Amino acid sequence: MYSAEKGFNQDVVFDVEILTSKTRLDLDNVVFNDVPKKYSIKEIKLPSDNLFHYIIDEEMSLMATYSTFNDIINHGYGETKIRTLVLEDPAAKELNNLKRVFGVSADVFFMPNSFILSSKGTQVLDQIIGFMAKFPGIKLEIATHTDNTDSENTSLLLSQKRAESMVNYLITNGVKSIRLISKGYGSSKPLVPNFFETDRKLNRRVDFTIIK
């Protein structure tokens, strides 16, 4: 009945932060050796505390961070915490708003069990084309995820083809390939356990992430 997220505005995201440092750390530093390869480490520096923050996940909802948080704690990163970040960057705010308007469901963006884009999929990508034109200095990672109903290899292949399908659509419509990254994670990064179909549906998703 109650969600803590109701107290936040739409320009907020939730980061899983594994550590902070007063000095910049190379991303190949030994301190990151136990971070599973399925996570991409991102460094941010906040003027409010003048520290370097190392993030491995960013989600639109607080509950969606639980799986990553629990996983990384079990890998020995006991100082991991969830950071609420108010978006200030105009590009980040606009992309976050696009995701809230269109959603991130792979079931909506693709034909069933396929990497063929649906009409909703092309609609959101048409918006992304305009977004990339408006912010010519950014790169964008498009990542797709599946549930665990198929084998690991089958899920990984489908998710990679879906990510490439989206990237290819953008390239065909004028976005330079150097500004785009496609990644398929299969079922390796679930938001929630795959016990019920309602949960599996949440795990079948698309992530759009700005790469500076």
CATH number of the domain that 147 lies in?
Answer: 3.30.1330.60
Give the pLDDT confidence of 8-65 residue by residue, as tens digits: 567 889 999 999 999 999 989 999 999 998 888 989 887 778 899 999 998 888 888 9
Model's pTM, two decimal places? Answer: 0.83
Give the span between the Cα atoms of 18 and 204, in whole angstroms: 25
Q: Calculate the CA 17 to chain-centre distance.
A: 14
Lowest mean pLDDT among 39-43, 71-75, 135-139: 39-43
Asked whether residue 101 falls in the same domain as residue 78, the answer is no
Asked whether residue 163 falls in the same domain as residue 82, the answer is no
Counting runs of H as helices and runs of E as strands, what totals does the chain give?
6, 7
- How many domains are contained in the chain? 2
Give the span between the Cα atoms of 138 and 61, in whole angstroms: 24
Asked whether residue 206 falls in the same domain as residue 165, the answer is yes
Domain range holding 40? 4-86
Asked whether residue 168 falls in the same domain as residue 185, the answer is yes
Asked whether residue 140 falls in the same domain as residue 184, the answer is yes
CB atoms within 10 A of CB 110: 23
Give the pLDDT confidence of 189-212 residue by residue, as tens digits: 998 888 899 889 999 999 999 987
Strands (E), 87-205: 139-144, 180-184
If you ran DSSP here, which 8-state letter would residue 126 be given?
H
Asked whether residue 111 falls in the same domain as residue 38, the answer is no
